A and B are shown apart, each in its own frame.
Chain A
Amino acid sequence: MNKEEIIAIIEGLMYIVGEEGVTKEQLSQLLELLPTEVQLYLDELQTRYASEEHGIEVVNYAEIYRFVTKTHIHEYAEKLFRMNHNNTLSTAAIETLAIIAYKQPITRVEIEEIRGVGCDIMLRKLQIRNLIKELGRSDAPGKPILYGVTADFLDVFKLVSLKELPELPNYDSLADSENLFD
């Protein structure tokens, strides 16, 4: 198989799997190619769809590749359909998720210490939405549950992995203090 044939197969498979997406490892297994090779083809496909002549793009969230429509299509889709906007996260939910993502594994008490409010119910809600999961228990007294974020968390915030999280701001030096509230 030549390069174009392989890319065509990957493209076709990615269309079939839709929102479920496909991983590099799955492709490498079924195409009998090295993961590094598959990576090259995936990158190539991604670059091709990134160009402005396409309304669809290839994204990689949580190491899962899939076709999604480009964000600017959304406003036109809204004219065509009535869209449900029930997929929301409150500021409090996003703050809680941010704390967990940067500090995991972390206990409920540690999260509450940072936010200054109780988050028992919040954690339960996030768990039901599959954005966080339990990562075992801490050795601290009472053996509290440790929380961490899930692959779905990476997906909803468009991240390949946790390494992609933006760097936490650093105000620990006084020099930055003037910019704090800009």
Chain B
Amino acid sequence: MTFLVSIDKFDGPLDLMLHLIKEKELDLFDLNMDILVDQYVEYLNNMDRFHLEIASEYLAELAGLLEYKSKQLLPNSKDIEQEDDEDPKEKLVRRLIEYQKFKEISVILTQRFIDRNKQFAKTVSFEFNNADQENDLSELNGNPYDLMKAMNRCLRHVALNQPLQMRSTTSELTVEQVVNTIKDKFSNIKGSFSFIELLKNCYDINEAIITFLAVLELIKIQDVYYNIDENDEIWLKWSNVYE
């Protein structure tokens, strides 16, 4: 019985091919395409037999490999080949080598990433107070992806504010309650205020998310305009300020 590695282990057809080359001890620079193609086909067949889903990328490469193999079988195939085309074998080898380079670099980068995650900094020691910063209306627009990016930043902020011991709390806040709280506390601000400001006393991820939902609600009913600056700060401004 042969040991079967799940296809999920591979990051695509090139990754699988590199694995097969290594396993069969093939020479990448003098690649025996017949063996590679057979192995690749066998691998996908096995996957198929176990009713595992095969991503379309694997099948696309399979088509290329089979085309190459069938051309080899045709007599005088050289005559039909277009001269200006790069030899498919050379092209595949070039791609495999290129991909292998980045795989190696990724190993180095992964280690650096792991090390970096073990280095901790503390949060900034004071709160910036930019609440009354003046923005004009023309700047107040952003796209949803900016909003997601900015929210990520806020969640990081909340995570850092959080005491390291674990607590469990049941949150009974509703979006409407938070919408009302925001309206109560911040309605007198004429200029822009930042989303971080709303999270000032928030040490809980649920509360942060509900606050974010509340802001989305306010944006939806057009009570506030929003803008995201280059530092991923979400700036909000009451729409009635312009009336």
Binding site for B on A (CB under 8 A): 15-21, 57, 59, 61, 66-71, 73-74, 77, 80-85, 87, 89, 91-92, 94-95, 97-99, 102, 113-118, 124, 127-130, 155-159, 165-166, 168-169, 171-172, 174, 177, 180-181
Asked if B145 lies at the interface with its beta carbon under 8 angstroms from chain A, I say yes
User: A71-B119, A118-B57, A177-B29 known; A95 and B103 CB under 8 Å?
Assistant: yes
Interface size for chain B: under 10, 10 to 19, 20 to 34, or 35 or more residues? 35 or more
Q: Which chain A residues lie closer than 8 Å to B116 at the CB level?
A: 61, 155-158
What are 5 A-B residue pairs whose CB atoms fall within 8 Å in the complex? A21-B121, A69-B118, A114-B102, A116-B12, A130-B153
- A181 to B159 alpha-carbon distance, docked (Å): 41
Known: A20-B124, A77-B120, A116-B61. A98 touches B106 (CB 8 A): yes
Main secondary structure of the interface of B (DSSP, over half): helix
Q: What chain B residues lie within 8 Å of A171 (beta carbons)?
A: 28-29, 97, 100-101
In the complex, which residues 106-159 of chain B have their Cβ closer than 8 Å to any Cβ of chain A? 106, 108-110, 112-113, 115-126, 145, 148-149, 152-153, 159
Which B residues lie within 8 Å of A77 (CB)? Answer: 120
Chain B neighbourhood of A181, CB < 8 A: 22
Q: Which residues of B contact A115 (CB under 8 A)?
A: 11-12, 14, 99, 102
Chain B residues with CB under 8 Å of A67's CB are: 121-122
Q: Which A residue's beta carbon lies closest to that of B119?
A: A68
Which stretch, B160-168, B188-196, B234-242, touches the partner chain A? Answer: B160-168
Q: Are A69 and B120 in contact (CB under 8 A)?
A: yes
Residues of B within 8 A of A91 (CB): 11, 106, 110
Of A98, A129, A156, the residue contacting B152 (CB under 8 A) is: A129
Tell me the smallest distance from the CB of A11 to a CB of chain B, in Å.
Answer: 14
* CB closest residue in chain B, given A95: B106
Give min CB distance, B105 to chain A, whole Å: 5
Over the window 156-184 of chain B, the binary record of Cβ atoms lying under 8 Å from chain A Cβ atoms (1 yes, 0 no) is: 00011000111000000000000000000
B154 vs chain A, min Cβ distance (A): 13
- Residues in chain A near residue B102, CB distance under 8 A: 95, 98-99, 102, 114-115, 168
Kindly report which residue of chain B lies nearest to residue A67, judged by CB atoms: B121
Q: Report the 3 A-B pairs with minimum CB-CB distance, sorted nearest first.
A: A19-B121, A74-B118, A117-B12
Residue B86 interfacial (CB < 8 Å): no
A128 & B115 in contact (Cβ 8 Å cutoff): no
Rounded to whole angstroms, the CA-CA distance of A155 and B14 in the bound complex is: 29
A81 to B109 CA separation, bound complex (whole angstroms): 27
